Structure formats: structure tokens, C-alpha cells
A and B are shown apart, each in its own frame.
Chain A
């Protein structure tokens, strides 16, 4: 019994520190908003938009540092410039979407690095890149909560239209939705989520939060409503457990723990997912092999 009580003490120890509780709360908020958006991005085929935006905010952050403004402001402005730039390149050239994204974000990231290399002391680059969840200030935490709440509110109000635009823009246009505006809105929300996530887990890892939960949910369900809930559960669960666990892992970054956990959940879903997992696929192919008639039908595309 004594041993049991001791274990309990060790396990609850992190929660007795205020900075741990704050870290877990901020991580959960950032993960929630990123996970919800990741479903839309996975549908739209924009998984790497988060990657592009996370890199593009750098010049904004450095300029904000030079002028003594809040980082989030500079980040939002830079993200907006990147979104407009990507849109302009895509509309004005014959480049594919991925190349348009790539050209713009590498240039902006390079500009940020150049500006940063000219700074005397410089921003604490490590914490922009990797986040500093355990040492986050009250102001930053508040900012993160505010951004998360605003994004979730907008998504809640427009989620049906956003689904239509993400899933099938042509159909959305046909039924009279303002496709251009809604696409812009989705990008703007992604930019806001990126900024929120930046402070929690860092630029490098906010990317993962905008991809993996949606991808995991996509393997587990066919319905969008359910997909959002699953993604949110995966994202928030990983953030809470990862932040908590990082207390026990010597020297590990909190962000790294959160992302590794998310990836582990994805791998588990990949293997055991009821309809789209590897085991299910294997069993389906064995069934086909056992039944030549079904295999012939499947080969003709009947009943699939």
C-alpha cells in the first residue's frame, strides 16, 4: 500500500507545479484548434500549408522584435503576406500549388533568417523554433487562448460552408457559395492557428499538429462530423499526455514529446483502423483470394 501511495505521489507531482498545469492547458488549447483545422486541410489537400505558414512568419517575428511589438502581431502580418503571395503566384502562373507554396515560403523564411543574422543579440530563436511551453508567460498563454477561442468560434459558425469548399470547390461554387472568400477565410484561420501553436510547440512542430490529427481521423471514420471529434481527441489527448510526460523525460522538449505521441497514435490507427487500417486491408484481400467470384467482381470494379 505504501508503495502504491508513493507511486501516486510521483505521478501527481507534475500537477503540483503551476507551470506544468499552465503548459498542459495551453498545449491543449493550441492542439484543439490545430486539430479541428487539420481535418479541413487534409480534405482540401493543403496539409503543407501549415508548414509554409510556420516558416513564413519568421520575418514578421524578427521585425516585431526590432520594433518592440508583440510577436503574435508580426507573425499574423507575415502569415497574411504569405497567404496573399501564394495566392498571387498560383493565380498568376502555371505552377502547381506545391511549387507556388514552396517558392513563397522559402523566400520569406530566408528573409527572416537574413534579418535575424543582422540583429546584434537576436531573438531567442530556439524558443520560436521549438516553443517553450514550460516557460510560457501569462501574456502569451492568454494570447493563445484568445486566438484559439476566436478561431473555434468562426469555425463553429461557418463549418458547413467550409466543408463544402474544402471537399469540392466546384460543387460549392455551383450551389452559390462565395468560394474565394471562404477559401481565404480557411487560410486566415490556418494562419491564426499557426500563430497560436507557434507559442505552444514552436514553428517546427505546429506543422505536425496541423497534419497528424486530421490524417489519423481520416483513417478512422468516413463522416466529417465524427472526423473532427476524433481529430480533436487525438490532438488534445497527445498534447495533455505529452506535456505531462515531458516532465519525466530528461532534457526532452515538450513539443517533441507531444508530436512523437501524436505520431504513435497515428501508427496505431494505421494498423488497427476498422475499415481503412492495414489489418482490415489484409483481411479484405485474403477474403477476395478465398472467393474467386468476389475477386473477379472486384477486378471489374463491381461492388467496391
Chain B
């Protein structure tokens, strides 16, 4: 039995567990909105679209996360504008924007000598997380949870009953944009800590589990957050035992309960 808890004697494991849990809960809360709204692939889009921003930031010497955030928000804004002002379907509009930005980013990264590590962005480095990245991820996740706690009711109304929201005078466009900006910030801040694939999955699967298990928004949130917490802990332990990449282990630990609910 002592072998099971040997993991917890390692500082880096404790840090990894806490980071994964916090990022997981923030993403799980967002994923409930995202899945109900039909925006599941927005996290995927944003996470690809940050590349040109990262490349440009590396070129001009500003913090990479600033470039990433600007470029992620640009992706969200452009897709929304394209959807409203052309006859393209929402998913096509989003697809055109994020693939275009990603292609541009690849050309920029290749054409400029910089130390942007594509692999690092893809997988993250949960077990070897650096202090600055950790602080950034924690700040963004706590920030997004606070914003959602303060505005959650209004955002929910705008998302699920836009006509009613407009009648009672809520700034619908602004609130929707706030939700998407919070989403972008969380994605950007978490990618460096836990890797792209984990963030993208955590923005979809917890919400999907919530939808399967509950009919009301509150219980849905609880199911989403609870299952993500459990999966973060279980996945991190498993990755230690099998000596495999941590992010993918957590994603699989999250997919298993989903499969069980279907």
C-alpha cells in the first residue's frame, strides 16, 4: 500500500496533481457552457489559432502568452464575424479561420529563428512545469472561475435564451464575447502548463458527462467538475506508474467515465 502513496512524496507530483485539478475544474465549468451551446470545437480552434501570435511575439520580444491571447481572441472574433456576415455555416467559418491562422503560424515559425518549441506547446510538460507557467495557469483559471461566478447567471441567460436576455436589456453581444474571451484566456494559460490536447479534451468531455448525467445546469456543473477532478488525480497517478505522458493519461481517464455513461 505504501507504494501507492509513494507518488505523493515527490514534490513535482504534488504540483502536477494540483495544477491538473485546478485547470481541470476551470475547463470543466467552461465546458458545460460550451457543450450546451454547440461550441465544442472552439477550444480546438483557439488552441491552433494561437500559433501566429506566439511566433510574432517571439519575433518582437513580448511575452509569448500575450501574443497567444491576442491571436486566440482574434480567431474567436473573426469566426463570429464571418458567421454573421456571410452565409457560411458556423463550423465552416470557424474551420476556415483557425486553419488559416495555423498555416500562417507554421510559416512564421519556420521562417524566423526562434526558440518556440512546437512540441512543448503540443504536449505541455505537466511533470516539469516551470514556476512562471504555473503562476500564469493558476491566475487565469482562478480569474475565469471568478468571472463566471459573478456573471454566470447573465451569461447562461444570454447563451440559452437570447431573446429573453435582450428583452430584459442584457448586453448580449458583450456577454457572449466575455465568455469566449474567458475561454481563450483559459486555453492560452493552460496550454503551456498541461499541453494542448489536455485543454481541448477538458473543454469537451466534462460537459458531455454532465449532459449525460443531469438535466439541470447546477448538477451538470457538479458532475462535470467532479469527474474531471477524479480523472485528473487518477490520470496523474496512472501516468506515474506506467511512466507515460501525463496529459494523455488524464484525457483517457476522463473518457472512460464518459464511455460508462453512454
Choose one: A92, A103, A278; the contact of B205 (CB below 8 Å).
A103
Stretch of A22-30, A173-181, A185-193, A205-213 that contacts chain B: A205-213
Could you say which residues of chain B place their CB within 8 Å of the CB of A109? 197, 251
Q: Which A residues between 83 and 104 are near B, CB-CB below 8 angstroms?
A: 88-89, 92-96, 98-99, 101-103
Q: Which B residues between 203 and 245 are near A, CB-CB below 8 angstroms?
A: 204-205, 207-208, 211-212, 242-245
| Min CB gap A44→B, angstroms | 9
Interchain CA distance A160-B102 in the complex, whole Å: 34
Name which residue of chain A comes closest to B254, CB basis: A107
Q: Does B40 contact A (CB under 8 A)?
A: yes
| Min CB gap A167→B, angstroms | 12
- Contact between chains at A110 and B252 (CB < 8 Å): yes
- Contact between chains at A117 and B92 (CB < 8 Å): no
Q: Does A196 contact B (CB under 8 A)?
A: no
Choose one: B40, B86, B104, B242; the contact of A219 (CB below 8 Å).
B86
Interchain CA distance A47-B100 in the complex, whole Å: 14
Stretch of A1-9, A68-76, A134-142, A257-265 that contacts chain B: A257-265
Could you say which residues of chain A place their CB within 8 Å of the CB of B94? 47-48
Q: Does A253 contact B (CB under 8 A)?
A: yes
Choose one: B93, B107, B204, B248; the contact of A102 (CB below 8 Å).
B204
Q: Does B249 contact A (CB under 8 A)?
A: yes
| Min CB gap B243→A, angstroms | 8
Q: Does A283 contact B (CB under 8 A)?
A: no
| Min CB gap A122→B, angstroms | 11
| Min CB gap A90→B, angstroms | 10
Give B79-92 as 1s and 0s: 1 = Cβ < 8 Å from A's Cβ atoms. Answer: 00010011111011
Query: Known: A110-B248, A113-B197, A260-B103. Contact between A93 and B41, CB under 8 A?
Result: no
Chain A interface bracket (under 10, 10 to 19, 20 to 34, 35 or more):
35 or more
Q: Could you say which of B82, B87, B95, B96 has the most chain A C-beta atoms within 10 Å of its C-beta?
A: B95
- Contact between chains at B197 and A207 (CB < 8 Å): no
| Min CB gap B248→A, angstroms | 4
Q: Does B139 contact A (CB under 8 A)?
A: no
- Contact between chains at A106 and B92 (CB < 8 Å): no
Q: Does A218 contact B (CB under 8 A)?
A: yes
- Contact between chains at A48 and B91 (CB < 8 Å): yes
Q: Does B58 contact A (CB under 8 A)?
A: no
Q: Which A residues between 249 and 290 are near B, CB-CB below 8 angstroms?
A: 249-253, 255-260, 262-263, 266, 270, 276, 278, 281
- Contact between chains at A256 and B106 (CB < 8 Å): yes
- Contact between chains at A98 and B100 (CB < 8 Å): no
- Contact between chains at A276 and B107 (CB < 8 Å): no
Name which residue of chain B comes closest to A256, CB basis: B106
- Contact between chains at B40 and A102 (CB < 8 Å): yes
- Contact between chains at A218 and B87 (CB < 8 Å): yes
Q: Does A111 contact B (CB under 8 A)?
A: yes
Choose one: A107, A125, A205, A212; the contact of B251 (CB below 8 Å).
A107
Q: Does B56 contact A (CB under 8 A)?
A: no
Q: Does B9 contact A (CB under 8 A)?
A: no
Could you say which residues of chain A place their CB within 8 Å of the CB of B204? 99, 102-103, 106
Interchain CA distance A93-B242 in the complex, whole Å: 32
Could you say which residues of chain B place their CB within 8 Å of the CB of A266? 96, 100
Name which residue of chain A comes closest to B243, CB basis: A118
Q: Does B200 contact A (CB under 8 A)?
A: yes
Could you say which residues of chain B place their CB within 8 Å of the CB of A218? 87-88, 92
Q: Does A243 contact B (CB under 8 A)?
A: no
Interchain CA distance A125-B244 in the complex, whole Å: 17
Interchain CA distance A117-B251 in the complex, whole Å: 14
Choose one: A47, A93, A117, A276; the contact of B86 (CB below 8 Å).
A276
Q: Does B168 contact A (CB under 8 A)?
A: no
Could you say which residues of chain B place their CB within 8 Å of the CB of A278? 85
| Min CB gap B121→A, angstroms | 12
Additional 7 contacts, C-beta under 8 A, given A208-B102, A266-B96: A51-B41, A102-B201, A112-B248, A211-B96, A253-B107, A256-B106, A256-B110
21 contacts between A and B (CB under 8 A): A42-B88, A42-B92, A46-B91, A47-B91, A48-B44, A94-B212, A98-B39, A98-B40, A99-B38, A103-B208, A106-B255, A110-B255, A111-B252, A205-B102, A211-B99, A219-B87, A252-B107, A253-B106, A259-B102, A259-B103, A270-B86
Q: Could you tell me which B residues sit within 8 Å of A by CB distance?
A: 35, 38-41, 44, 48, 82, 85-89, 91-96, 99-100, 102-107, 110-111, 119, 123, 197-198, 200-201, 204-205, 207-208, 211-212, 242-245, 247-249, 251-252, 255, 258, 262
